[in-house]
Amino acid sequence: MRTKGTQATGEFSLIDLFLSHFPRARVPVGPGDDCAVLAPSKGAQCITTDAVVEDVHFKRAWFSPEDIGHKALAVNLSDLASMGAIPRWFVCALALPRDFPRRELAGIARGMSALAREHTIALVGGNFTSARELSITLTVAGELLPGTAPITRAGGRPGDVLYISGTLGDARLGLQQLLSGVRRSTAILRQKRPVPRVGLGRLAARFVSAGLDVSDGLAQDLGHLCTASRVSAELELERLPLSRAVRAALGTEGALAGGEDYELLLAVPPERTPAFERACLRGEVPVTRIGRLTRGEPGHIRDASGRSLRLPAGFDHFRGGRRIDRSGREG
């Protein structure tokens, strides 16, 4: 990991502290040089980057350091999962206030390294710098199995069946509960510790025509898939997998607009659906059939009766996004 913007003795001490929580990366050159050096791979590479920023994605009074480290890696692993990639390595850029407690940095490392071990992904480099607010930016890479094509948003065809993993709206409900003063619930755990569906992504690569992870709300992300695939969709609202708590607090519309679910939305050709469902059952991966892709205006979504749906907008950082200000209010 390289360093900028802090005193040498301090920053190298922080680097050593952070790296001590990760196993040594089995790559030709790992942390410590200007670049990591990676061995050639047989499969195609999938690379993504994402950041979590204090008072935008988390509030330090609500999230433990372990929660923050977990979430920073989980949101990136979800992108790899959506492409059907196997996680391989990542680099981590940390921006810290100058007085950031060492125990909190160690906690971030513990949360991140625990998830990294679970998915056998190696930290191979990164950067430390000083900043007014804590932010963590990761670049992660995975690889496809040889002969396997990536899952993209653009492969859907009319007649493909739509599936969603897990349940929807829990992370949004968790944020609302945190804002109201609740500090512990199943929904709050989903907000703090999203589960990247890496296993489902690898399984789905054998069956699906298109897919993506639901990070900005199902309504918005389904529109992205339909637009990229140049199709419409028919959504069976009564089949959406919602917990009792979400159904009571948010309703269907609120769940459709909820961001940070990090579930996978997948389009499967109808002839492959029986095999796909059997594979998910064997893998103990919960998926729900929620509709199908249809011919029509790209991005247009109807309900099962054919009525056009005016779906709620999802999360957007630059259009009144859900920023958490320092008083704890959602803005």
Question: Would you list the domain boundaries of the chain?
Answer: 2-143, 161-303
Residue 310 CB partners (closer than 8 Å, separation 6+) = none
Average predicted confidence (pLDDT) for the chain: 89
The segments of the chain whose pLDDT lies below 70 read 1-9, 311-331
Alpha carbon 218 to its chain's center: 13
66 annotated to bind ligand? no
**Per-residue pLDDT at 316:** 52
Query: Using CA atoms, how far apart are residues 6 and 230, in angstroms rounded to an integer?
Result: 49
127 annotated to bind ligand? yes
Number of neighbouring beta carbons within 10 Å of residue 107: 18
How many residues in total does the chain contain?
Answer: 331
34 annotated to bind ligand? yes
**Per-residue pLDDT at 319:** 54
- Cα 269–Cα 300–Cα 163 angle in degrees, nearest 5: 35
Query: Using CA atoms, how far apart are residues 233 and 277, in angstroms rounded to an integer?
Result: 20
50 annotated to bind ligand? yes
153 annotated to bind ligand? yes
33 annotated to bind ligand? no
**Per-residue pLDDT at 26:** 82
DSSP string, 205-223: TTT-SEEEEESS-HHHHHH
22 annotated to bind ligand? no
170 annotated to bind ligand? no
Phi–psi pair at 121, nearest 5 degrees: -115, 135
**Per-residue pLDDT at 3:** 45
Strands (E), the chain: 2-3, 45-53, 86-96, 122-130, 135-143, 161-165, 210-214, 232-235, 263-268, 287-294, 301-303
The pTM of the whole model exceeds 0.85:
yes
195-216 pLDDT, tens digit each: 999 999 999 999 999 999 999 9
207 annotated to bind ligand? no
Question: Hey, what's the torsion of the CAs at 323, 244, 280, 191, to 10 degrees?
Answer: 20
CATH superfamily of 2-143: PurM-like, N-terminal domain (3.30.1330.10)
Q: At what angle do helices 102-118 and 8-19 cross, to 10 degrees?
A: 40
Joined together, the tokens standing for residue 47 give: 């690379």
Query: Using CA atoms, how far apart are residues 238 and 161, in angstroms rounded to an integer?
Result: 16
**CATH code 3.90.650.10 for 161-303:** yes
Residue 75 CB partners (closer than 8 Å, separation 6+) = 50, 52, 194, 196, 215, 260, 262
Query: Using CA atoms, how far apart are residues 120 and 139, in angstroms rounded to an integer?
Result: 16
251 annotated to bind ligand? no
